[in-house]
């Protein structure tokens, strides 16, 4: 499955869950959203974040915070597997 198709499917399910449960807030942690080769997949991460933040679901919330670890050149600090 291509990342774009997987992203659409995943976000559709995520939005449905948020709409069903209507939480006052939510936290979303994504490990390796861009795949194992983050540098080559950076555009997928950007697309994912932009799609999420511009969604109708997010209009119900008055703030959002996004934290990205973009230091993909430091492998010993970039992945959880190094812990």
51's tokens: 């799609």
Mean pLDDT of 54-64: 95
d(CA 26, CA 19) in angstroms, rounded, equals: 12
List, as one string, the DSSP characters of the chain: --HHHHHHHHHHHHHHHHHHH--S------SSTT-S-HHHHHHHHHHHHHHHHTSTGGGG-S---------TT-HHHHSGGG-
**Which pLDDT score, from 0 to 100, does residue 19 have?**
96
Q: Residue 72: pLDDT band by 50, 70, 90 thresholds? A: low
Q: What is the rounded average pLDDT for all residues in the chain?
A: 81
All structural domains of the chain with their residue ranges: 1-14+37-83
């Amino acid at each position: 499955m291509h990342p774009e198709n997987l992203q659409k499917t995943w976000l559709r399910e995520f939005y449905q869950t948020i709409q069903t449960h209507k939480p006052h807030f939510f936290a979303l942690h994504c490990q390796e959203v861009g795949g194992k080769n983050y540098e080559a997949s950076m555009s997928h991460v950007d697309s994912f974040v932009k799609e999420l933040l511009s969604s109708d679901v997010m209009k119900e919330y008055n703030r959002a915070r996004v934290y990205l670890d973009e230091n993909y050149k430091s492998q010993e600090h970039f992945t959880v597997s190094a812990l």
